[in-house]
Amino acid sequence: MPQFSLYEEEHHPSPWQRTWREFRASHIAFVGLVVLAIFFFFALFAPLVAPYDPIQQNLNSLLIPPSWERNGTIDHLFGTDALGRDVFTRIIYGCRVTFGSSLVLVIIAMVLGVTIGTVAGMMSGVRSSIVNHLLDALMAIPTLLIAIIIVAIVGTGLVNSMWAITLALTPQFIHFTRTFVRSEMKKEYILASRLDGANAWQLFSHSILPNMIEMLVVQGSLALSIAVIDVSALGFLNLGAQPPLPELGAILADGLDVAYLAPWNVALPGLSIFLMVLAINVVGDGLRSALRKRVSR
């Protein structure tokens, strides 16, 4: 019996296994996944990886160059900033704040969007038309602009900026879910479930949601890259995380004052944001390609 199960698993893989095989075949997407895993590791285990306190100042170690430069030292791998704080430590904790908060707010936005989008997708008539026009109007406005407006109303800070970006991203998930649900509601398997006496919750949990999970993963990866950019932008504009909390956008803004004397204070946080967004986009493109190939086969 176990041999038969192994045979079935090898010759009849599940949809997730087929998607993983297609994704793994793309070397660029796999490298992006490894880079993203490194950022996730930093976000999860920052206190264990970072060699120093991210907010501890040392006036005897001001603007020390990175270790690869002539006057650099291995004690400060990425050098120090204008207050003597270790740049490598601050970038690790910055990844924790930027990536971690982005991941949390995308999950919240996804839950809210799927819930509201499902209800809107099952509605019809005037209410459905009103929701559709409202979503079109909200999605025409950039998420960063919506977040700035909300932060200007409720006040600055990391928590307020997270809620602002969550509210800005939620219409995208509502629009996606509503479109998907309305398309699925016209299919025959939904009609068969209705004839069997399934209610709205049973239709969603047993019929619609299983078919929507993989597409939500792709949509979530795209929203995650937008969230990272928005969190960093609000931190850079001093509307998000406030000093001395290390956040990549705020670290980049702090480095502007000494950009000519210590360019690594700007280049290294900026490079971290670039690599994080690039890795998320590459993984998202790889997932879309893998899903497309799996469906075509």
* In-domain check, residue 54: yes
Cα 56 to Cα 28, 49, 241, 243: the distances in Å are 38, 16, 17, 12
* In-domain check, residue 96: yes
Q: Which residues pair with 80 in a beta bridge?
A: 86
Has residue 7 got a pLDDT over 60?
A: no
Number of domains in the chain: 1
Q: What is the pLDDT of residue 294?
A: 65
Proportion of the chain above pLDDT 90, given as a percent: 33
Q: What is the pLDDT of residue 177?
A: 87
* In-domain check, residue 35: no
Residue 133's pLDDT band, with cuts at 50, 70 and 90, is confident
Q: Which of 14-18, 40-44, 158-162, 258-262 has the lowest mean pLDDT?
A: 14-18
* In-domain check, residue 128: yes
Q: What is the pLDDT of residue 223?
A: 92
Has residue 3 got a pLDDT over 60?
A: no
* In-domain check, residue 1: no
In terms of Cβ atoms closer than 10 Å to its own Cβ (0-12, 13-18, 19+), residue 145 is exposed
Mean pLDDT, residues 199-220 taken together: 78
Has residue 225 got a pLDDT over 80?
A: yes
Cα 153 to Cα 137, 149, 157, 171, 241: the distances in Å are 20, 6, 12, 19, 16
What's this model's pTM, rounded to 2 decimal places? 0.86
* In-domain check, residue 220: yes
End-to-end Cα distance, the chain: 29
For 83, other C-beta atoms within 10 Å of its C-beta total: 15
Q: Taking a C-beta distance cutoff of 8 angstroms, is the pair 240, 157 a contact?
A: yes
Give the single-character DSSP code of 258: G
Q: Taking a C-beta distance cutoff of 8 angstroms, is the pair 78, 85 a contact?
A: no
Hunting for tokens 């949990």 — which residue is that? 205
- Average pLDDT of the chain is 84
Q: What is the pLDDT of residue 124?
A: 67
Has residue 226 got a pLDDT over 60?
A: yes
Mean pLDDT, residues 103-126 taken together: 85
Domain that holds residue 88: 40-296
Cα 149 to Cα 112, 160, 222, 246: the distances in Å are 20, 11, 22, 23
Angle (CA) 19-22-25 rounded to 5° is: 145
pLDDT digits 0-9 by tens, 37-52: 999 998 899 999 898 9
Q: What CATH number corresponds to the domain at position 144?
A: 1.10.3720.10
* In-domain check, residue 10: no
And the tokens for 289?
A: 């390609």
Has residue 143 got a pLDDT over 90?
A: no
Angle (CA) 273-276-280 rounded to 5° is: 140
Q: What is the pLDDT of residue 71?
A: 83
Q: What is the pLDDT of residue 6?
A: 46
Q: What is the pLDDT of residue 21?
A: 82
Q: Which residues pair with 86 in a beta bridge?
A: 80
Q: Which residue type does 121 have?
A: G
* In-domain check, residue 243: yes
